[in-house]
Amino acid sequence: MSYSDLVEERYIDSFVIDICISKFLDDARENGKNDTVYFPTEFYDWMSCNGKNFQQRQLNETTKHLSNVNDLQQILVPVCMPNHWGLIFVDLAHKEMYFDDGLQSAVPTASLPSVNRALELLSEIYPHHPSFQTRFWKNYPMFRCFGMPSQAPVNSKMIGVGSCGIGAIMAARDMTQNGSLCINNFQWRFSDMDQHRKTLMLQLDP
């Protein structure tokens, strides 16, 4: 079962990524903070298809929980690479896009065009949202790094070397709570992932 992958140092799959980040978004909404949208791991499948109507339906379904779409300030998108996870953070309020993964990996080439396409379609779905109505996104050149802690091992215990997905989840959690204030200001470390995994399991326990 995917949930058991949270135990010990091991790679987690897209199911765990989506469930965990969605849980933090639900918690934020219950506390009155409803300014974040999360596009799940199948986002790239949506954007790679040729059906515009299908793409818009998926984006609309994902954003419909917003009580007021004009409150939308940020978008989170996981990034799956070979045996590795990263995270995209779209800061609508400050018109910036970030990617990071803890290993300074190059972002997959399909990521930026996919996000730009989604923003273009969102501008058609929500024509009055001020952050979508700009040509700025279409010409955005590249992602910046948001300062995810380094995943490189710090000792022979190798704690954290298989926790890239947990890092993406924790970065998404912090951004959901604090937005761009997290940039280059994360308080957790991959070297403590044995404890972070236990905490995460307790947070997911109903």
Average pLDDT over residues 180-191: 94
Average pLDDT over residues 156-176: 87
Between 163 and 115, the more confident residue is 115
Q: How much is the mean pLDDT over the chain? A: 88
pLDDT at 179: 95
Tens digit of each residue's pLDDT (9 = 90 or more) over 56-76: 999 999 998 888 888 999 999
The pLDDT of residue 2 is above 80: no
Between 11 and 100, the more confident residue is 100
Residue 136 CB contacts under 8 Å (≥ 6 apart), including other chains: 95
pLDDT at 1: 43
Q: Rounded to whole angstroms, how far apart are CA atoms 74 and 148?
A: 17
Model confidence band, residue 6 (pLDDT cutoffs 50, 70, 90): low
Predicted TM-score of the model (pTM) = 0.91
pLDDT at 50: 87
CA atoms within 13 A on the CB side of 170: 28
